[in-house]
A and B are shown apart, each in its own frame.
Chain A
């Protein structure tokens, strides 16, 4: 059994102009020590997915269906009290803006000790020793002095290291990182990502990395989900998806990167923009922007505009696309016919 299992997760927001379906039928698993990337543009629902794992969705949002299982226990039906034992302790989170997580009026040491003491019955001395050890692990120079400093005295990169140290404080099983390096400069970003990767491997910690940056995902994660308009549209091993994306949206996303085009030539853009969640197109949500709603022979594929695509398995990946499904069907038929003709 997987360490974390998400089945048919469905999250909605009750807004004044009607209910918005932020997450529909999201399914994935995470094994112990595995690194999973969740990729998508703003509004795709990737952050909502991360927050709903620990039932941290704030009103007016709520989990309308499905379940999150961690270590065999169902998280979304747990009491707030029981959940608190999981949060921070066995599953910890890293956010985009370190200043959101760090309390500006408490010193680094106070915040780390508070976190340790909330979950474990240990003396201040022991807690301090653990805190120092974690600061060393995230390669913070002169950790003793840092403990007495306040967040505003540290640079952005240093703060994000402290956040990682706090996330590691209670030796969690899973770290959920929501755009952990977006606010940082490229050189710092590379260092923080390398550090996170190294620590996860060393301590066999699972990582759920939420990002819009395909480069980061391809370097850090083993498996990835691509989200579009509240649904997962493609999932599978990272390398396979990056090297050979099946879903037209994933293809478009990768091809749109400047590094995929010849310098000075036009980039391969996807036309249009992501639909609003309150006003989704019928059928496949991507169809108004998709170049493949017509078959190669020019005939219309009616399913694209009428029916929400189901997942089909292509190699090790799962793809929700009518075009891919049709191609796979055709291949299977061809094979069957081949077998019939020459047994």
Chain B
């Protein structure tokens, strides 16, 4: 089974070493916490007759390392609050990380100012979740699509910009005649096409897609997913694809990273992960997908719910819900370890062979 799975992935990705120089994007030691305590005056508290400064944080990301290889679609899955969208937003420079580095083509980009980042903005683009919010309601489609071109190609004349807009509209399957209309005149699927066109307009090589289809209807999801795959083939794009939908991952992803509470618990080639999930959380997640098959839901029941990221559990963040947790899991934080088939898992039970 496993051999077969490996063979299946082969035609899509040449086997790659995790630390290979082919990485287009490297995420190293990424941490992000958000303050919950407001500004300085709000943080002051009286404790035992003394004025102390009290601060609370949401630990959204706690040490994430990821490599995104050229030409692949790396899917990041996890449930709400696992930090997957935060990773995407940090990569795009919408949020500054608390710790860690982001390297693009070997160059560090997380500490650049906005002027220095401009060159990278042309190469990295983003597609958002909600097509109803990602288009400016007061701008026409034409204006929306022309804006990135005018910014990144100030030397282009009007005719060249218009031609390019027309071309990119064609490539995502929207009629160029619709340019004078506003976003709200379109359906969700069409709006998402327009948002994709905006991202593709500057001919990027890397696209971060944050749940791009979860706000869409089933029949439209397929259209948009096909469009993204076509674009990948035609333009040799690299994707960082954030989603909670494992069925989509199975179809779309070259590799998958599973996240839980701000840490990556398993990274594997898609086929390997689906045929042989290692981490107990991955297993639970997989068993929860509603399938069309006959049998009754036989999912792995997890105890309790995701703990709050304000007070992180000690040791392995998953230990409170894990059926295999022991004393070591409660104390020691597991690190990602490479298995025989290249899968990397952060789990003491897997490491010790208990699972």
Contacts and interface: CB of A to CB of B under 8 A. Distances in A.
Given A41-B219, A270-B219, A190 B251 contact: no
Given A185-B80, A186-B79, A266-B226, A259 B244 contact: no
Contacts of B53: none
A306 interface: no
Nearest to A158: B305
Contact of A186 (B220, B230, B289): B289
Interface string A176-196: 000000000111111101100
Nearest to B281: A187
Contacts of B271: 263
B8 interface: yes
A218 B296 CA distance: 9
A72 interface: no
A66 interface: no
B305 A216 contact: no
A252 B223 CA distance: 12
Interface string A182-223: 000111111101100100000000000000111110110000
Given A186-B246, A252-B219, A257-B218, A267 B225 contact: yes
Contact of A185 (B187, B230, B244): B244
A250 to B, nearest CB: 11
A239 B294 contact: yes
B250 A263 contact: yes
A266 B297 contact: no
A314 interface: no
A323 interface: no
Nearest to B213: A258
Contact of B218 (A158, A239, A253): A253
Contacts of A259: 247, 250-251, 291-292
A191 B168 CA distance: 44
A155 B292 contact: no
B217 interface: yes
Interface string B189-204: 1100000000000000
A268 B229 CA distance: 13
A267 B296 CA distance: 26
A307 B232 CA distance: 42
A269 B223 contact: yes
B218 A215 contact: no
A121 interface: no
A128 B188 CA distance: 46
Interface residues of A, number: 42
Given A263-B8, A273-B220, A214 B292 contact: yes
A189 B30 CA distance: 30
B191 to A, nearest CB: 11
Contacts of B288: 186-187, 189-190
Nearest to A273: B187
Contact of A273 (B8, B190, B287): B190
Interface string B208-221: 00000000011111
B252 A258 contact: yes
B80 A42 contact: no
Contacts of B225: 258, 267
B271 to A, nearest CB: 7
B248 interface: yes
B316 interface: no
Contacts of A264: 12, 229, 251
Interface of B: 8, 12, 79-80, 187-190, 217-223, 225-226, 229-230, 244, 246-248, 250-252, 270-271, 284-285, 287-294, 296-297, 299, 301-302, 305-306
Going nearest first, the 3 A-B pairs with the smallest beta carbon separation are: A215-B290, A258-B251, A256-B222
Interface of A: 41-42, 155, 157-158, 185-191, 193-194, 197, 212-216, 218-219, 239, 242, 252-254, 256-259, 261, 263-264, 266-271, 273-274
18 contacts: A41-B219, A186-B246, A186-B288, A191-B299, A212-B218, A219-B291, A239-B294, A257-B247, A258-B250, A258-B251, A259-B247, A259-B250, A263-B8, A264-B12, A270-B219, A270-B222, A273-B217, A274-B187
Given A214-B292, A259-B292, 9 more contacts: A155-B305, A187-B299, A212-B217, A259-B250, A259-B291, A263-B8, A263-B250, A266-B229, A270-B223
